[in-house]
Amino acid sequence: MYVPTIADVKVAAERIKGIAVRTPLVRNDWLDEAAGARVFVKAECLQRGGAFKMRGAANALAALSPEVRARGVLAFSSGNHAIAVATAAKHFGVAATIVMPADAPKIKLDTTRALGAEVVTYDRVRESREEIGAKLSGEKGASLIKPFDDPFVIAGQGTAGLEIAEEIAPDIVFVPASGGGLSTGVALALPNARIIAVEPAEHNDIERTLAAGVIQRNAPGIRSICDGLLTEQMGEITYAIARKRFERVVAVTDDAVRRAMKLAFFRLKLVLEPSGAASLAALLEGGVDVQGKTVAIIASGGNVDAETFIGALNV
C-alpha cells in the first residue's frame, strides 16, 4: 500500500494545471466576528464541475498512460466524483461509465449524463457499488477511478491545501470527510495545521475508527442531507494518514448544515450543497475553540438541487 506524501501533492498540482482551476479564499467581517477568528473559506463550489472532486479525478486520469486511458474509465459515486470523472474523461476524449445510487440528487445524475457519461444506477442499501464497479470494469476493460482510496486521487484533492498555503498559514482547517480523500490530501499539503474532520451526525464512522484504532463501518440505511458524505467507511490509505493527522472529528446535524448553507448564501454570496456547508456548520456549531486563530474552511461543493437549497434558505 503506497501512502502519498506532500511531494505527490506538488506533482499533482503541476499535472492538473489547465484542467482544474484555482479557487478563491473568501473572507467576511461578520463571519470573523461570529467565530472570533480570521476565517478564510476555500470556495471549491467554484471548482470546475462544481466541487473539489475535479482535482483528484483530473490527477488520476492524467497519470494513466495514453494507451490505458483510451480504453475508458469507470467510477462509482453519489454525484460529485461522478461529475468530476465525467468532466475529466471528456477533457481527455475517452469514455466514462459511472455507477451512481438511484437516489442521488437529480442535478448530479442529470449533470453526469449531460457530460456524456454512461450512468448505471443501483440501490445503495441493498447493493454494493464496489461489486458493480468491479464487474463493469472487468467487462469493459476500463480503468477504475476510485473516489478516495487512491494515492493519485488523494494527492489531487490535496492541491486545494497547497493553494491555501500559498496565501495563508492556517492554524486550524475544517474539512468535510467521508471516505477521507479530501481531508487527508489537505492534511498532507498543510503539515503544520490542525485538521478538524467533519462528518454527518449518526454517520460517524471516522470518529469511531480513530477511537477504536481499526476501520469502522456505518450501518446501511443511515440518511443525511449531506449525500456526498455517506460513504460506508474510510479507506485503508486514508486511514493511515488520518490516524496520524486528524486532531478531532466533529459531527454536524442536518439542521446545522441548513443554517450554514443559508449563511453562506446571504453572508458570503456562495451557493453550497449540504456536504459543502458541513465544515462551516462545524466551525459555527461544533464547539471547537478557534479564538484568535487563522482558520481555513473547505467549502467542498455547490451541486445542490433547487428544492434542497430553497429548503435551507427557509430555515
All structural domains of the chain with their residue ranges: 6-52+155-313, 54-144
Give the model's pLDDT for residue 112. Answer: 93
Q: What pairs with residue 101 in β-bridges?
A: 122
Q: What is the pLDDT of residue 238?
A: 98
Alpha helix stretches (DSSP H) within the chain: 6-15, 29-35, 53-63, 66-69, 80-92, 106-114, 129-140, 151-165, 181-189, 205-212, 236-245, 254-263, 274-285, 306-313
Q: What is the pLDDT of residue 133?
A: 80
Give Cβ neighbours of residue 219 (< 8 Å, ≥ 6 apart).
Answer: none
Assigned C-alpha cell, 80: 460529485
pLDDT in tens, the chain (315 residues): 999 999 999 999 999 999 999 999 999 999 999 999 999 999 999 999 999 999 999 999 999 999 999 999 999 887 889 999 999 999 999 999 999 989 888 888 999 999 999 999 998 778 887 788 888 888 888 999 999 999 999 999 999 999 999 999 999 999 999 999 999 999 999 999 999 999 999 899 999 999 999 999 998 877 899 988 988 899 999 999 999 999 999 999 999 999 999 999 999 999 999 999 999 999 999 999 999 999 999 999 999 999 999 999 998
Q: What is the pTM of this model?
A: 0.94
Q: What is the pLDDT of residue 170?
A: 98
Which of these, 52, 272, 64, 62, lies nearest to 181 by C-alpha position? 52
Taking domain 54-144, whether its CATH number is 1.20.960.40 is answered by no
Strand order in the sheet with 194-200: 25-26, 38-43, 294-299, 172-176, 194-200, 246-252
The CATH number corresponding to 6-52+155-313 among 3.30.43.10, 3.40.50.1100, 3.75.10.10, 3.10.450.50 equals 3.40.50.1100
Give the per-residue pLDDT at 208: 96
- Residue 294 is predicted with a pLDDT of 98
